[in-house]
Amino acid sequence: MAQSDSEIRIQTAELEEEQIELAGDETMEEEELEGLVASLIEGAQDYIDLQEAPDRVKASDYYQGLPFGNEEDGRSQVVSMDVRDTISLMLPQIMRTFFGSERVVEYVPRQPEDVLAAQQATDFVNQVVMGQDNPAFSICYNAIKDSLIKRIGVIRIDWERREEVEYEEFTGLDDQGMEAILSEAEVEDSQVESYPDPNFVPPPPQPPQVSPDGQPIEQPEIEAPMLHDVVVRQTRVDGSIVLDALPPEEFLIDRRARSIEDSAIVAHRRYLSVSELVQMGYDYDEMLDLAGDSDEFGTNTEFISRHPISNYADSGAVGEANRKVLYIEAYAKIDYDGDGISELRRFCCGGTHHKLLHHSPVSDLPFIIFNGYPEPHTWKGHSVADLLMDVQKIKSAVLRNMLDSLAKSIHPDTEVVEGQVNKDDVTSNKVGKIIRTRAPGMVRELTKEFSGREAFPMLDYLDSVKEDRTGMSKASMGLNPDALQSSTKAAVSATVAASQAQIELLCRVYAENGMKPLFKKILKLLHSHQDQTRMVRLRNEWIPIDPRGWDAGMDVSVNVALGLGTTEERMAMLAGVANKQETILKE
């Protein structure tokens, strides 16, 4: 769960009061603000649902190899899987590039005294934030795959503040143990049940004693000591970085945006249960009123294609607390205080009418956009599907015609004289069958020669077009130059280097536009929100980590396996280094 709205209200209450006092009557009315935000959200929703979603659905259909819709009965309906095959070959190389080393990124200090802090931040973020706290590989894999198919992949990064209520039970405590448990500062409530020690064995009776005046002294009765069963309630407050790869249809942006930073609005829309919203600090009755019967994603073709039988409108069947509410977190620059300067604010809206639940100023956007083929002056770019959909459709048509020609050559059409032939005999597939005719020559096969071999050069040409556009070929997959007998090793090595150049460029784009902003935001969130020291194990040592002492403006260096040459070149370089070392040792 992201930082609760109740916590945000507490943190920003004084700032809001100061802004209102300074602005006076210029502060925007809540109704006006709600209408403005709702208008921006509706415009972004129309853009995503009506313009972007159909294109993504088409790309997804090509990736899955679904029929084109122009198929004919009795003809071949094969679909070439060029989009899927190409993406399946690209993903292993891309993921190995970023996650093949121990550290995905390194933080670069700006001052000499920040060197140790930069090393500590690098180890902590790579090992704990991206390893223990978040499945970083899966999250980045989903975002990169979305971008290869649907043009963009979106990662949301938040600081999650958790309040976990724990109940601990202790049995058989003595008085001192009970006092020690109840004296702990974290204990908020307790239940104590006391009872005599069932295992107490009283001491043997003492002989009767007599006082000096001869009166018997009454012996005190020894009672069993009391034991206590204690149940204590504790609330532990903790926080951590949370990463999530968003479904593309949940991300909203203005149609005129050049980037997410200059967009009029960016937002994350999703359905949350009434229970989840109450845990975030909202009123139960108010959230129940916002749980309408309409489904915001019911008209989004992308959501429908992914969940063909899913509908949020019928969620009330599992209880009122589980009814779904459309919850949108929007980020827009609005002059709320009337000082003539627009500031970035976070707006939390609920329901299909976008009722404004809460708003507060923020310093940064929590979204990272991954796009491997960006276009200048626009927030989105192209995908592998955009590059190959026409090739896949043409190649499918060629394959269908080849298979149809092959089928006709193996199973030719048959000409019969009507009324002179038994049709059941003619249409039977039995080998060595007998065809009954009234006269000779009443049946004749229309032999057709297979002409599909003439299409093989066209398939090779289409494959070369695919390779030119994406860089994915047998050479880029690491084909051994020694295995090629028809070309020189130097020529093949040059082909390998040229084909890998496009993959190298793609990885560099992901590194600069995706990985670096992501890890910069991680560093900033740790510096701003982790308010207590955390003990972690780094390099086999337990070290206290306090990000408040780090420089939040450190640069990020992405460790990608680029520009290292071929394997043969690296081996030759290492062999040369080994020879020099041997020479030095002999001297």
409-437 as b/e: b if 16+ CB within 10 A:
eeeeeeebeeeebbeeebeeeeeeeeeee
Kindly state the tokens that stand for 436: 């009954």
Predicted confidence at residue 123, as pLDDT, reads: 86
- Render 554-565 in DSSP notation, one character per residue: -EEEE----S--
390-403 pLDDT tens trace: 999 999 999 999 99
Q: Is the pLDDT of residue 404 over 60?
A: yes
Coil, helix or strand for 352?
A: coil
100-140 pLDDT tens trace: 777 888 888 888 888 888 888 888 888 888 888 889 999 99
513-529 pLDDT tens trace: 999 999 999 989 888 88
Share of the chain above pLDDT 70, in %: 83
- Of 329, 350, 348, the closest CA to residue 287 belongs to 350
> In terms of pLDDT, which residue wins out, 357 or 533?
357
In what helix (H) or strand (E) does residue 303 lie, and over which residues does it extend?
A: helix 301-306
Predicted confidence at residue 295, as pLDDT, reads: 65
> In terms of pLDDT, which residue wins out, 444 or 587?
444
Cβ atoms of 556 and 107 within 8 Å: the answer is yes
Say how far residue 286 (Cα) sits from the centre of its chain. Answer: 31
3-state SS, one letter per residue, for 381-450: EECHHHHHHHHHHHHHHHHHHHHHHHHHHHCCEEEECCCCECHHHHHCCCCCCCCCECCCCCEEEECCCC
Alpha carbons within 13 angstroms on the beta-carbon side of residue 440 total 0
Which of 336-350, 414-428, 572-586 reaches the highest mean pLDDT? 336-350
Predicted confidence at residue 112, as pLDDT, reads: 83
Q: Please report which confidence band the pLDDT of residue 320 belongs to, taking 50, 70 and 90 as the band edges.
A: confident
Which residues are CB-neighbours of 37 under 8 A, at least 6 positions away? 265, 330, 332, 334, 347, 349, 354, 356, 359
Alpha carbons within 13 angstroms on the beta-carbon side of residue 222 total 8
8-55 pLDDT tens trace: 455 555 555 555 454 445 677 888 999 999 999 999 999 999 999 999
Query: What's the mean pLDDT in 413-422?
Result: 86
Predicted confidence at residue 22, as pLDDT, reads: 46
65-98 pLDDT tens trace: 999 999 888 899 999 999 999 999 999 989 988 8
Which residues are CB-neighbours of 206 under 8 A, at least 6 positions away? 219
Which of 18-27, 279-288, 428-437, 495-504 reaches the highest mean pLDDT? 279-288
Query: What's the mean pLDDT in 152-172?
Result: 83
Nearest-angstrom CA–CA distance, 148 and 89: 12
Q: What pTM was computed for the model?
A: 0.78
Mean pLDDT, rounded, of the chain: 82
- Of 280, 238, 331, the closest CA to residue 41 belongs to 331
- Render 184-240 in DSSP notation, one character per residue: -TTEEEEEEEEEE-TT--PPPPPPPEE-TTSPEEPPPPPPPPEEEEEEEEEEEEEEE
> In terms of pLDDT, which residue wins out, 474 or 212?
212
Q: Please report which confidence band the pLDDT of residue 499 belongs to, taking 50, 70 and 90 as the band edges.
A: low
Q: Is the pLDDT of residue 161 over 60?
A: yes
Q: Please report which confidence band the pLDDT of residue 530 belongs to, taking 50, 70 and 90 as the band edges.
A: confident
E-strand stretches of 437-516 = 443-446
361, β-bridge pairs: 345
156, β-bridge pairs: 244, 367
Centre a 10 Å sphere on the Cβ of residue 583 and count the other Cβ atoms it contains: 9
238, β-bridge pairs: 162
375-392 pLDDT tens trace: 999 999 999 999 999 999
Range from 37-46, 181-190, 515-524, 576-585 carrying the lowest mean pLDDT: 181-190
E-strand stretches of 274-412 = 324-334, 343-350, 355-361, 367-370, 373-374, 381-382
Say how far residue 459 (Cα) sits from the centre of its chain. Answer: 36
Q: Is the pLDDT of residue 565 over 50?
A: no
Range from 130-134, 155-159, 432-436, 576-580 carrying the lowest mean pLDDT: 576-580
- Which residue in this structure is represented by tokens 């009557």? 25
Which residues are CB-neighbours of 76 under 8 A, at least 6 positions away? 399, 400, 401, 403, 404, 407
Predicted confidence at residue 396, as pLDDT, reads: 95
Predicted confidence at residue 174, as pLDDT, reads: 83
Q: What DSSP designation does 131 have?
A: I
- Of 194, 193, 188, the closest CA to residue 166 belongs to 188
**Tell me, what amino acid is at 478?**
G
Q: Is the pLDDT of residue 563 over 50?
A: no
Nearest-angstrom CA–CA distance, 18 and 22: 6
